A and B are shown apart, each in its own frame.
Chain A
Amino acid sequence: METPILEMRDISKSFNGIKVLDNVGFELRKGEVHALMGGNGAGKSTLMKILTGVYSLDSGKIVIDGAEAQIRAPKDAEKHGVSMIFQEFSLVPSLTVAQNIFLEREPRTKLGMIDDKACVRRTRQLLEELDVDIKPDDLVADLGVGYWQMTEIAKALSKETKLLIMDEPSSSLTKRETEILFDFIGRLKRKGISIIYISHRMEEIFQICDRITIMGDGKHIVTAAVNELDMDSVIRHIAGKNLDKFEWKERNGIAKEDVILEVRGLQTNNRVNGVDFELHQGEILGIAGLMGSGRTETMRALFGIDPIIEGEVHIRGRQASIRSPQDAIGYGLALVPEDRRVQGLVLEHEVRDNILLPSISKVTSVLVNDKKGDRVAEEWVAKLNIKTDSIYKESRLLSGGNQQKIVFAKWLANNPDIIMLDEPTIGIDIRAKTEIIEMVRSLADEGKSILLVSSEMTELLAVSDRILVFHDGKAVKQFMRKDISSEEELQHAIQGF
């Protein structure tokens, strides 16, 4: 058998004494599309960051094309022909495709000026070779998202790349765009390009990948050809190695019969395509689904961020008209958004000011009553166990978990009835996670009604009374918590089988 293009042997890596990669091995053959799978915290992204030179390895060996490769910086990875296509694209929208592809390494004329003609010619040649339907002179801004990705890939290939890493490449694409991308991946394969394909979508993986490697808890679990595995075994491998174990606990309060929020045929121009569901008083309703299935976007619509173009929202039995977050807040809604750094907090502002922002008018007569405001802030800092030297500390100086608690605090201080949580434990440490899960439970016990969007199955299963599965902008399935026997069952539903 021919030498693999890439071999990562016994790779280990620790952060602050915590082992995140433990003797991981990974092998990639020439012209292979190799899926890399595993839950959050499995170590996939750390492994890829080591391969692309973002992190350096503690021990182990990287062998590329039979020779040991020292990858200490992104530049080294590029030298060895390794490129990663990022989810957030790194193109300049106001430049043309050709200008983007040769950005910072434009061919020069004899006089040292940029040789636009050569730039366009070489781009055209490249695009023809790849059989992509883009013109070198197209403005990137005018291309669809799917073509952005192909431009990005073309850019990588123009640098003699032989190994591509793609991270959830289809998550922002439509079905049609995804098909075009898969065709393209097929062509790359035939040209001998090797691809590491990171994804949670099994349907895709079984469609385009040759082999699958599953990681869990920083360890290599299994590598096998796709025809040796089926979805059940993949799910079992992934689920069996989840880092976080949250157990279902009976709560003191139970969900009442009263429907507090009813959503009928909700549609927006942003991926929400006829969502129906109801939420009961005191209930925790989990929302599962793949990236791009319309979960976040449904929350956005209900909170008045994205305009609702069709459908009805009833709150406490009355039709609600939500056109802005102010309206939503008026109906007793709160949203802990997906991206706390961008949407949740004013990072350079004090903990206190962030906590008080939605409820500032409650501590204001004519002027803000700072004593009262400080008391409110201190109360919530203590209640949620937010670790900070003082309520006057800038929020950016706190850890991720504590920042997320500030976002919770700012909404709880406003005393909402319906709390929407969008990936509330993403990117925070296990202790803060546990605290937040516990908080969600006690909020429901107090009679708050909760919508919980999460990609972490254990988390959903640990607290939800009921779970909705979203697919293509709709709520397609519903499970009562007690009817779900295992994480695998939920995974099946999410994958759309």
Chain B
Amino acid sequence: MLSKASSGNGVTGGASAVRPFNWRQYIVYIAFVGVLIYFSATLSDDGFLSTNNMLNIIRQTAIISIMGVAMTFVISAAEIDLSVGSIAALSSLTSAMALESGFGILGAIVAGIGTGLIIGLINGLLVTKVLIPSFLVTLGMMGIAKGLAMWITGTAPVPIIDKTYVFIFGSGEIGSIPVMFFWTLTAAVVGHIVLKKTAFGRRTLATGGNQSAARFSGVNVSRTKLYVMLGSGMMAGLAGMLYAGRMHSGRYTFGEGDELSVIAAVILGGTSLFGGVGTVIGTVIGALMIGTINNGLIIMGLDVSQQMIVKGLIIILAVAFGRKAINK
């Protein structure tokens, strides 16, 4: 071979081998710090900075973060999953019904996660075998899962009285830290490692970055897509169980509109809507930022309509800055 080990123009390691700074990946951290500083300065007297309020924000954003972790994979693979909110609603009911029927916590887990896995599998198969775009598949599935959720109990909520379930899945606290924090942390850490440090993660990013090149490189593109859709369904199933645990019941209204919050968190976090670039940590920060804005605006006393407008503006601005910075 052309053995020119160190002719000076190859990579020499050391100082030159640092990754170039990528604005898109960091804009969310900057924005998040900015939001924190702003609210701290203006709302410090109103208890924004209190530990209690901070934990509140984490508690409120956990479910979005957890679905966001899986959605990061979906979007990194240049697909989308609009059915996550509906899956969460349905699995909150199936796990509550499993408890009600005496199958115990294990039964509830099987029912809740299983619901997500089955729908995720159907989504994935339709995308990879029938070759329907994921946008359409999951748009349809969004309606089907929601309809099923309304139908199985005739829109009635299913109460949960199992204390252990409620503790583990959402309402408990360890020390004074809510279990939701640990769920978020676990999802984020596992998700981050899988995306950045496993062959599957690399293949997911390659598939989203250039499906054709990935295929020509021997990546099983359709299996990769099947797995990301499956993963998204599974995490939405977990999210439904967490809704059920927090609210002590299963309800078809849970998760309504969550798909959009989840996608917003993912994109805000620095994942490319066109695939190929993804960051799980960014997604969690994105979710936290949206939660913090919500929280701050409520404390400021803005009503729901004003909150929605301000939130929308901030999301557009953050993404716009990220784009501008990378185009330089």
Q: Which residues of A contact B (CB under 8 A)?
A: 303, 305, 324-326, 328-329, 335, 337, 342-350, 353, 356-358, 360-361, 364, 366-368, 370, 378, 381-394, 410, 435, 438-439, 442-443, 446
Report the separation of the CA atoms of residues A378 and B199 in the bound assembly, to the nearest whole angstrom. Answer: 19
Among A343, A360, A390, the residue within 8 A (CB) of B203 is A360
Q: Which residues of B contact A368 (CB under 8 A)?
A: 197-199, 201-202
Q: Return the chain B residue nearest A344 by Cβ.
A: B213
Q: Is the CB of B214 within 8 A of A357?
A: yes
Q: Which residues of B contact A442 (CB under 8 A)?
A: 1-2
Q: Return the chain B residue nearest A378 by Cβ.
A: B11
Q: Which of A305, A357, A385, A442 has most B Cβ within 10 Å?
A: A357
Q: Which residues of A contact B4 (CB under 8 A)?
A: 382-383, 385
Q: Is the CB of B2 within 8 A of A381?
A: no
Stretch at the interface among B14-22, B114-122, B284-292: B14-22
Q: How far is the CB of A244 from chain B (nearest CB, A)?
A: 19
Q: Return the chain B residue nearest A342 by Cβ.
A: B212
Q: Is the CB of B17 within 8 A of A364?
A: no
Among A343, A366, A378, A386, the residue within 8 A (CB) of B216 is A343
Report the separation of the CA atoms of residues A367 and B201 in the bound assembly, to the nearest whole angstrom. Answer: 10
- Is B238 engaged at the interface, CB distance under 8 Å to the other chain? no
Q: Is the CB of B2 within 8 A of A446?
A: no
Q: Is the CB of A381 within 8 A of B216?
A: no
Q: How far is the CB of A393 from chain B (nearest CB, A)?
A: 7
Q: Which range holds the interface residue count of chain B?
A: 35 or more
- Is B215 engaged at the interface, CB distance under 8 Å to the other chain? yes
- Is B164 engaged at the interface, CB distance under 8 Å to the other chain? no
Report the separation of the CA atoms of residues A356 and B217 in the bound assembly, to the nearest whole angstrom. Answer: 10
Q: Is the CB of A346 within 8 A of B20?
A: no
- Is B10 engaged at the interface, CB distance under 8 Å to the other chain? yes
Q: Return the chain A residue nearest B276 by Cβ.
A: A348
- Is B9 engaged at the interface, CB distance under 8 Å to the other chain? yes
Among A349, A381, A446, the residue within 8 A (CB) of B11 is A381
Q: Is the CB of B16 within 8 A of A353?
A: no
Q: Is the CB of B199 within 8 A of A346?
A: no
- Is B13 engaged at the interface, CB distance under 8 Å to the other chain? yes
8 contacts between A and B (CB under 8 A): A325-B216, A347-B210, A358-B218, A360-B199, A378-B10, A383-B4, A392-B20, A438-B2
Q: Which residues of A contact B2 (CB under 8 A)?
A: 383-385, 435, 438-439, 442
Q: Which residues of B contact A353 (CB under 8 A)?
A: 202, 205-206
Q: Is the CB of A439 within 8 A of B10?
A: no
Q: Return the chain A residue nearest B5 by Cβ.
A: A382
Report the separation of the CA atoms of residues A430 and B206 in the bound assembly, to the nearest whole angstrom. Answer: 30
Q: Which residues of B contact A349 (CB under 8 A)?
A: 205-206, 209, 276
Q: How far is the CB of B49 from chain A (nearest CB, A)?
A: 38
Q: How far is the CB of A52 from chain B (nearest CB, A)?
A: 29
With A305-B215, A345-B210 given, is the CB distance from A385 to B7 under 8 Å?
A: yes
Known pairs A368-B201, A383-B2 / 13 extra A-B pairs, C-beta < 8 Å: A303-B216, A343-B216, A344-B216, A346-B205, A348-B277, A357-B206, A357-B219, A360-B203, A378-B13, A382-B6, A382-B10, A385-B10, A446-B1
Q: Which residues of B contact A (CB under 8 A)?
A: 1-7, 9-11, 13, 16-20, 193, 197-199, 201-203, 205-206, 209-210, 212-220, 276-277
Q: Is the CB of A390 within 8 A of B17?
A: yes
Report the separation of the CA atoms of residues A394 and B272 in the bound assembly, to the nearest whole angstrom. Answer: 15
Q: Which residues of A contact B220 (CB under 8 A)?
A: 324, 326
Q: Which residues of A contact B13 (CB under 8 A)?
A: 378
With A349-B276, A360-B199 given, is the CB distance from A392 to B18 under 8 Å?
A: yes
Report the separation of the CA atoms of residues A254 and B215 in the bound assembly, to the nearest whole angstrom. Answer: 33
Report the separation of the CA atoms of residues A237 and B221 in the bound assembly, to the nearest whole angstrom. Answer: 48
With A343-B212, A383-B2, A442-B1 given, is the CB distance from A367 to B18 under 8 Å?
A: no
Q: Which residues of B contact A326 (CB under 8 A)?
A: 218, 220
Q: Which residues of B contact A393 (CB under 8 A)?
A: 20
Q: Which residues of A contact B11 (CB under 8 A)?
A: 378, 381-382, 388-391
Q: Which residues of B contact A335 (CB under 8 A)?
A: 216
Q: Which residues of B contact A438 (CB under 8 A)?
A: 2
Report the separation of the CA atoms of residues A443 and B215 in the bound assembly, to the nearest whole angstrom. Answer: 24
Please name the 4 residue pairs, one residue from A and one from B, whose CB atoms are nearest each other, closest first. A346-B209, A382-B10, A367-B197, A346-B210
Q: Which residues of B contact A350 (CB under 8 A)?
A: 19
Q: Is the CB of B217 within 8 A of A358?
A: yes
Q: Is the CB of B20 within 8 A of A367?
A: no
Report the separation of the CA atoms of residues A366 and B215 in the bound assembly, to the nearest whole angstrom. Answer: 23
Q: How far is the CB of A428 from chain B (nearest CB, A)?
A: 16
Q: Which residues of B contact A324 (CB under 8 A)?
A: 220
Q: How far is the CB of B206 from chain A (nearest CB, A)?
A: 5
Among A305, A346, A361, the residue within 8 A (CB) of B214 is A346
Report the separation of the CA atoms of residues A361 and B5 in the bound assembly, to the nearest whole angstrom. Answer: 25
Report the separation of the CA atoms of residues A442 and B3 in the bound assembly, to the nearest whole angstrom. Answer: 11
Q: How far is the CB of A36 from chain B (nearest CB, A)?
A: 32
Report the separation of the CA atoms of residues A349 and B16 in the bound assembly, to the nearest whole angstrom. Answer: 18
Report the separation of the CA atoms of residues A370 and B17 in the bound assembly, to the nearest whole angstrom. Answer: 13
Q: Which residues of A contact B199 (CB under 8 A)?
A: 360-361, 364, 368
Report the separation of the CA atoms of residues A325 and B216 in the bound assembly, to the nearest whole angstrom. Answer: 7
Q: Is the CB of B17 within 8 A of A383?
A: no
Q: How far is the CB of B22 from chain A (nearest CB, A)?
A: 9
Q: Return the chain A residue nearest B14 by Cβ.
A: A390
Report the separation of the CA atoms of residues A303 and B213 in the bound assembly, to the nearest whole angstrom. Answer: 13
Q: Is the CB of A364 within 8 A of B198?
A: yes
Q: Which residues of A contact B6 (CB under 8 A)?
A: 382
Q: Is the CB of B17 within 8 A of A392?
A: yes
Report the separation of the CA atoms of residues A378 and B14 in the bound assembly, to the nearest whole angstrom. Answer: 12
Q: Return the chain B residue nearest A387 by Cβ.
A: B9
Q: Return the chain B residue nearest A389 by Cβ.
A: B16
With A367-B198, A370-B197 given, is the CB distance from A337 to B10 under 8 Å?
A: no
Q: How far is the CB of B165 from chain A (nearest CB, A)?
A: 32
Q: Is the CB of A329 within 8 A of B218?
A: yes
Q: Which residues of A contact B17 (CB under 8 A)?
A: 390-392
Q: Which residues of B contact A439 (CB under 8 A)?
A: 1-2
Q: How far is the CB of B241 from chain A (nearest CB, A)?
A: 27
Report the separation of the CA atoms of residues A381 and B4 in the bound assembly, to the nearest whole angstrom. Answer: 10
Q: How far is the CB of A123 from chain B (nearest CB, A)?
A: 32
Q: Is the CB of A348 within 8 A of B209?
A: yes
Q: Which residues of B contact A361 (CB under 8 A)?
A: 199
Q: Is the CB of B16 within 8 A of A390?
A: yes
Q: Is the CB of B210 within 8 A of A342?
A: yes
Q: Which residues of A contact B210 (CB under 8 A)?
A: 342, 345-347
Q: Which residues of B contact A394 (CB under 8 A)?
A: 20
Q: Is the CB of A357 within 8 A of B202?
A: yes
Report the separation of the CA atoms of residues A356 and B4 in the bound assembly, to the nearest whole angstrom. Answer: 21
Q: Is the CB of A343 within 8 A of B213?
A: yes
Report the separation of the CA atoms of residues A174 and B213 in the bound assembly, to the nearest whole angstrom. Answer: 28
Q: Return the chain A residue nearest B19 by Cβ.
A: A392
Q: Which residues of B contact A387 (CB under 8 A)?
A: 9-10
Q: How far is the CB of B52 from chain A (nearest CB, A)?
A: 38
Q: Which residues of B contact A346 (CB under 8 A)?
A: 205-206, 209-210, 213-214, 276
Q: Is the CB of A325 within 8 A of B197?
A: no
Report the separation of the CA atoms of residues A303 and B210 in the bound assembly, to the nearest whole angstrom. Answer: 18
Q: Which residues of B contact A435 (CB under 8 A)?
A: 2
